[in-house]
A and B are shown apart, each in its own frame.
Chain A
């Protein structure tokens, strides 16, 4: 059991006085390991809030460097970080917010050859990626390795998210089956994204991760939360685990393979 210092007791005091979190919940947070995949629009708010919350170990994965066009929404990066690897820029901000947090960086993109090794040992994974091949790969790997995770997707003024507990709740493929054909789907780089929408969706994912770690409330299992920031209508669509799902149903998947790279990688 973790012994909090006086500094930590004060730092986390608003969690500790929060009913349903308390000192026990804060200890769970401090003993948890969460992996954030993507240090972009979604990964930025997630990483900032998880660091501030005192998650014991946070892994962050991204192979990219900070670009000027990122700064409209990727709030963990600053103008002076342009050209710096995103994971290093993110790690510096997270440690500046909370030096008690251990940050592990993976300066690479995930693929079938490395994903299982990277997610192994984490209690919860955040999907903050920007393409379907990565989203389906993360779903496959989390189902295979039995690691719960939060799916997140954003486009224009909208967002969607669901939380997946493999083999217990519906997985991403139960709902969306397989990646759409290349170029069928508009992407953030081709269709745009309101920067604040990334923050809205990312902070929901961070809250879901913390709820899961503390064991409080009702995670977004078996439902997709969607919102449209133009109308500010939020909606839950309920469903059940698909017994015939090609990933988590029946025999399910046995091995990880790469999906063909599709969309959202359109270079400007």
Chain B
């Protein structure tokens, strides 16, 4: 299925849930990102049950705590 991940269109195998996509996309620590699926932010407890489908838009927004 075709997904849009951080603005890029990607072909990803069908029938996966969000937590599996995190692994495929090398997001090593889910604590490091806020995940947006089709304009909605997901809570971490839903990653394992959120099924992805053709055309979904996913954004991984990384925590950046630096400034000094």
Contact = CB atoms under 8 A, between A and B. Distances in A.
Interface stretch (B9-17, B18-26, B34-42, B48-56): B34-42
A109 B1 CA distance: 50
Interface residues of A, number: 44
A42 B68 CA distance: 6
A68 to B, nearest CB: 14
Interface string A206-248: 0000000000000000001010000000010111101000000
A25 interface: no
A184 B6 CA distance: 21
B64 A160 contact: yes
B67 A175 contact: no
A130 B64 CA distance: 9
B39 A175 contact: no
Contacts of B32: 180, 184-185
Contacts of A127: 67
B31 A180 contact: yes
B61 A224 contact: yes
B67 A38 contact: yes
A187 interface: yes
Contact of B31 (A129, A181, A238): A181
Contact of A128 (B31, B62, B67): B67
Contacts of B6: 235
14 contacts: A41-B66, A127-B67, A130-B66, A153-B63, A153-B64, A153-B65, A153-B67, A154-B66, A158-B64, A180-B31, A180-B63, A184-B29, A235-B7, A240-B39
